[in-house]
Amino acid sequence: MLRGPFLDRSWMGQNPDYKTSDIIMLGLPFDGTVSYRSGSRFAPEQIRLASWGLEEYSPIFDKELEQVNFHDAGDLEFPLGNTYKSLEQIKENVEDIYKDGKRVFGIGGEHLVTLPEIQAVSKFYKDFAIVHFDAHTDLREEYLGEEMSHSAVIRHCSKIVGAENIKQIGIRSGMKEEWEFMAKNNTLCKEYKDLESIKGKKIFITVDLDCLDTSIMPGTGTPEAGGLTFNELVGWFKYLKDFEIIGADVVELAPDYDASGVSTAVATKVIRELLMIM
Amino acid sequence: MLRGPFLDRSWMGQNPDYKTSDIIMLGLPFDGTVSYRSGSRFAPEQIRLASWGLEEYSPIFDKELEQVNFHDAGDLEFPLGNTYKSLEQIKENVEDIYKDGKRVFGIGGEHLVTLPEIQAVSKFYKDFAIVHFDAHTDLREEYLGEEMSHSAVIRHCSKIVGAENIKQIGIRSGMKEEWEFMAKNNTLCKEYKDLESIKGKKIFITVDLDCLDTSIMPGTGTPEAGGLTFNELVGWFKYLKDFEIIGADVVELAPDYDASGVSTAVATKVIRELLMIM
Amino acid sequence: MLRGPFLDRSWMGQNPDYKTSDIIMLGLPFDGTVSYRSGSRFAPEQIRLASWGLEEYSPIFDKELEQVNFHDAGDLEFPLGNTYKSLEQIKENVEDIYKDGKRVFGIGGEHLVTLPEIQAVSKFYKDFAIVHFDAHTDLREEYLGEEMSHSAVIRHCSKIVGAENIKQIGIRSGMKEEWEFMAKNNTLCKEYKDLESIKGKKIFITVDLDCLDTSIMPGTGTPEAGGLTFNELVGWFKYLKDFEIIGADVVELAPDYDASGVSTAVATKVIRELLMIM
Amino acid sequence: MLRGPFLDRSWMGQNPDYKTSDIIMLGLPFDGTVSYRSGSRFAPEQIRLASWGLEEYSPIFDKELEQVNFHDAGDLEFPLGNTYKSLEQIKENVEDIYKDGKRVFGIGGEHLVTLPEIQAVSKFYKDFAIVHFDAHTDLREEYLGEEMSHSAVIRHCSKIVGAENIKQIGIRSGMKEEWEFMAKNNTLCKEYKDLESIKGKKIFITVDLDCLDTSIMPGTGTPEAGGLTFNELVGWFKYLKDFEIIGADVVELAPDYDASGVSTAVATKVIRELLMIM
Amino acid sequence: MLRGPFLDRSWMGQNPDYKTSDIIMLGLPFDGTVSYRSGSRFAPEQIRLASWGLEEYSPIFDKELEQVNFHDAGDLEFPLGNTYKSLEQIKENVEDIYKDGKRVFGIGGEHLVTLPEIQAVSKFYKDFAIVHFDAHTDLREEYLGEEMSHSAVIRHCSKIVGAENIKQIGIRSGMKEEWEFMAKNNTLCKEYKDLESIKGKKIFITVDLDCLDTSIMPGTGTPEAGGLTFNELVGWFKYLKDFEIIGADVVELAPDYDASGVSTAVATKVIRELLMIM
Amino acid sequence: MLRGPFLDRSWMGQNPDYKTSDIIMLGLPFDGTVSYRSGSRFAPEQIRLASWGLEEYSPIFDKELEQVNFHDAGDLEFPLGNTYKSLEQIKENVEDIYKDGKRVFGIGGEHLVTLPEIQAVSKFYKDFAIVHFDAHTDLREEYLGEEMSHSAVIRHCSKIVGAENIKQIGIRSGMKEEWEFMAKNNTLCKEYKDLESIKGKKIFITVDLDCLDTSIMPGTGTPEAGGLTFNELVGWFKYLKDFEIIGADVVELAPDYDASGVSTAVATKVIRELLMIM
Mean pLDDT by 10 residues, chain D (278 residues): 94 98 98 90 97 96 97 95 94 98 97 98 97 97 86 96 98 97 98 96 98 98 97 98 98 97 98 98
Percent of chain F at pLDDT above 70? 100
* Cα–Cα–Cα angle for E116, E122, E125, rounded to 5 degrees: 145
Average pLDDT, chain F: 96
Closest chain C C-alpha to B85 CA, distance in angstroms: 12
Q: How does DSSP assign chain E, residue by residue?
A: -----B---SPTT--S-STT-SEEEEEE---TT-SS---GGGHHHHHHHHGGGS-SEETTTTEEGGGT-EEEEEEB---TT-HHHHHHHHHHHHHHHHHTT-EEEEEESSGGGHHHHHHHHTTT-SSEEEEEE-SB----S-BTTBSS-GGGHHHHHHHHH-GGGEEEES--B--HHHHHHHHHHT-EESSGGGGGGGTTSEEEEEEEGGGB-TTT--SBSS--SS-B-HHHHHHHHHHHTTSEEEEEEEE-B-GGG-TTSHHHHHHHHHHHHHHHT-
Tell whether B183 lies on the interface with D, counting CB pairs under 8 A.
no
Task: Please tell me the distance in Å from B126's CA to the nearest CA on chain D.
Answer: 33
**C209 touches A at CB < 8 Å:** no
Residue A9 lies in a domain: no
What pLDDT does F34 receive? Answer: 86
Q: Sign of torsion, CA D4 D5 D8 D13? A: positive
Considering only CB atoms, which chain F residues are within 8 Å of E96? 1-3
**Predicted local distance difference test score (pLDDT) of residue B245:** 98
pLDDT in tens, F164-178: 999 999 999 999 999
Q: State the smallest CA–CA distance between residue D80 and chain E in angstroms.
A: 5
Min Cα distance C85 → chain F (Å) is 10
Q: CB–CB of B9 and C74 under 8 A?
A: yes
If one counts every other C-beta atom within 10 angstroms of the C-beta of residue A198, the result is 19
Q: What's the helix, strand, coil split of chain A in %, to 5? A: 40, 20, 40
List the CATH number of the domain containing E135: 3.40.800.10
Average pLDDT of chain B to the nearest whole number:
96
Is residue A149 over pLDDT 90? Answer: no
Confirm whether F2 is domain-assigned.
Answer: no
pLDDT at residue number E175: 97
Provide the percentage of residues in chain A whose pLDDT is more than 90. 93
Please give the pLDDT value at position D147.
87
User: Cβ contacts (< 8 Å) between D42 and chain E: which residues?
Assistant: 37
Tell whether ipTM is more than 0.85.
yes
Amino acid at E123: K
Give the length of chain C: 278
- Residue B147 pLDDT grade (very low, low, confident, very high; cuts 50, 70, 90): confident
Q: Looking at the predicted structure, is the pLDDT value of residue B229 above 90? A: yes
DSSP state of C192: G
- Checking if the pLDDT of C34 tops 90, the result is no
The answer to the question of residue C196 being in a domain is: yes
Give the pLDDT band (50/70/90) at residue C80. Answer: confident
Percent of the residues in chain C that have a pLDDT greater than 70, as a whole number: 100
Cα–Cα dist E151/F184, whole Å: 69
Looking at this protein, which amino acid is placed at residue E13? Answer: G
Chain D neighbours (≥3 Cβ pairs under 8 A) are A, B, E, F
Q: How many helices (H) and strands (E) does chain D have?
A: 7, 10
Which residues of chain C make contact with B261, given a CB cutoff of 8 A?
256
Q: For chains C and F, what is the number of CB pairs under 8 angstroms?
A: 69
Residue F240: per-residue pLDDT: 98
E18, exposed or middle or buried, with CB in 10 Å at 0-12, 13-18, 19+? middle
Residue A142 has pLDDT above 90, yes or no: no
Is there a contact between B77 and C4 if contact means CB atoms under 8 Å apart?
Answer: yes
Closest by Cβ to D230, choosing from B226, B258, B259: B226
pLDDT bracket for residue B144 (50, 70, 90) = confident
pLDDT digits (tens, 9 = 90+) for E30-89: 998 888 899 999 999 999 999 999 999 999 999 999 999 999 999 999 988 899 999 999
Picking from C118, C159, B183, E1, the residue whose alpha carbon sits closest to that of residue D57 is B183
E80 contacts on D by Cβ (under 8 Å): 33-35, 143-144, 146, 149
Rounded CA separation C64/C230 (Å):
20
| pLDDT band for position F148 (cuts 50, 70, 90) | confident
Q: Cβ–Cβ of F223/B261 closer than 8 Å?
A: yes
F56 at the C interface (CB within 8 A)? Answer: no
User: Using one digit for the tens of pLDDT, what is the confidence trace for E209-246?
Assistant: 999 999 999 999 999 999 999 999 999 999 999 999 99
Instruction: Work out whether the CA dihedral C39, C44, C45, C48 comes out positive or negative.
Output: positive
Instruction: Check: CB of residue B165 under 8 Å from CB of residue B128.
Output: yes
The CA distances from residue B7 to B12, B69, C38, C175, in Å, are 10, 20, 19, 37
pLDDT at B143: 84
A3 within a domain of the structure (yes/no): no
CA distance E209 to E192: 19
3-state helix, strand, coil in chain D (%, to 5): 40, 20, 40
Q: What total of structural domains would you count in chain F?
A: 1
Task: Assign residue D117 a region (left: φ > 0; alpha: ψ between -120 and 50; beta: otherwise).
Answer: alpha
Evaluate whether residue E13 is within a structural domain: no
E278, pLDDT greater than 90: yes
Q: Residues with Cβ < 8 Å from B233, sequence gap 6 or more?
A: B133, B170, B207, B211, B212, B270
Among B77-91, C204-218, D247-261, F11-25, the least confident range: B77-91
User: Considering CB atoms only, which of F37, F179, F225 is closest to B230?
Assistant: F225
E-strand stretches of F8-92: 23-28, 57-58, 63-64, 70-75
pLDDT of residue B28: 98
Give the pLDDT confidence score for residue B75 in this predicted structure.
98
pLDDT in tens, D165-202: 999 999 999 999 999 999 999 999 999 999 999 999 99
CA dist D227 → A99, B178, B225, D215, D257 (Å)? 58, 32, 15, 9, 18
Residue F53 has pLDDT above 90, yes or no: yes
Give yes or no for B259 touching A (CB within 8 A).
yes
- pLDDT of the residue at C133: 98
Close Cβ partners of B103 (under 8 Å, ≥ 6 residues apart)? B22, B23, B24, B97, B245, B246, B247, B248, B278
| Domain contains E6 | no
Query: Given a cut of 90, is residue E114 above it in pLDDT?
Result: yes
- Closest residue in B to D7 (Cα–Cα): B144
pLDDT at B12: 97
Dihedral sign, Cα of residue B122, residue B125, residue B131, residue B133: negative
Answer whether A234 sits within 8 Å of E226, measured CB to CB. Answer: yes
CB atoms within 10 A of CB B163: 17
pLDDT tens digits along A190-243: 999 999 999 999 999 999 999 999 999 999 999 999 999 999 999 999 999 999
Q: How many Å lie between the alpha carbon of A164 and the closest alpha carbon of chain D?
A: 32
Per-residue confidence (pLDDT) for residue C109, from 0 to 100: 96
What domain range is E49 assigned to? 23-276
User: Is residue A6 assigned to a domain?
Assistant: no
